[in-house]
Amino acid sequence: MISDKTKGELREITARYPESRSALLPMLHLVQSEEGYVSPEGIEVCAELLDLTAAEVAAVATFYTMYKRRPVGDYHVGVCTNTLCAVMGGDAIFGTLKEHLGVGNDETTEDGKVTLEHVECNAACDYAPVVMVNWEFFDNMTPERARKLVDDLRAGNEVEADRGARICTWRQAERVLAGFPDGRADEGPSAGEASLAGLRLAAERGWSSGAPKPTGDAPPRGDAPNGAASNGATSNGGGGKGQ
Residue 44 or 162: which CB sits closer to ligand FES?
162
Radius of gyration of the chain (CA): 22
User: How many residues bind ligand FES, per CB under 6 A?
Assistant: 11
Integer CA distances (angstroms), 79 to 28, 101, 112, 124, in order: 23, 13, 18, 12
Three-state SS string over the chain comes to CCCHHHHHHHHHHHCCCCCHHHHHHHHHHHHHHHHCCCCHHHHHHHHHHHCCCHHHHHHHHHHCCCCCCCCCCCEEEEEECCHHHHHHHHHHHHHHHHHHHCCCCCEECCCCCEEEEEECCCCCHHHCCCEEECCEEECCCCHHHHHHHHHHHHHCCCCECCCCCECCCHHHHHHHHCCCCCCCCCCCCCCCHHHHHHHHHHHHHCCCCCCCCCCCCCCCCCECCCCCECCCCCCCCCCCCCC
Residue 47 or 84: which CB sits closer to ligand FES?
84
Check binding of 124 to ligand FES (CB under 6 A). yes
Task: From 123-131, 133-141, 208-216, 234-242, give the range in contact with ligand FES by CB under 6 A.
Answer: 123-131
Report the nearest approach of ligand FES to the CB of residue 121 (Å): 3
Report the nearest approach of ligand FES to the CB of residue 2 (Å): 34
Report the nearest approach of ligand FES to the CB of residue 81 (Å): 8
- Pairwise CA distance, residues 80 & 39, whole Å: 26
Check binding of 121 to ligand FES (CB under 6 A). yes
Check binding of 161 to ligand FES (CB under 6 A). no
Over the window 125 to 144, marking each residue x when it contacts ligand FES by CB under 6 A and - when it does not, the resulting string is: x--x-x--------------
Residue 76 or 175: which CB sits closer to ligand FES?
76
Check binding of 54 to ligand FES (CB under 6 A). no
Residue 121 or 194: which CB sits closer to ligand FES?
121
Omega within 30 of 0 (cis) for the link into 220: no
Residues in 71-110 at the binding interface with ligand FES, rule: CB under 6 A = 80, 82-85
Task: From 1-9, 110-118, 121-129, 190-198, give the range in contact with ligand FES by CB under 6 A.
Answer: 121-129
Over the window 191 to 230, marking each residue x when it contacts ligand FES by CB under 6 A and - when it does not, the resulting string is: ----------------------------------------
Residues near ligand FES (CB under 6 A): 80, 82-85, 121-122, 124-125, 128, 130
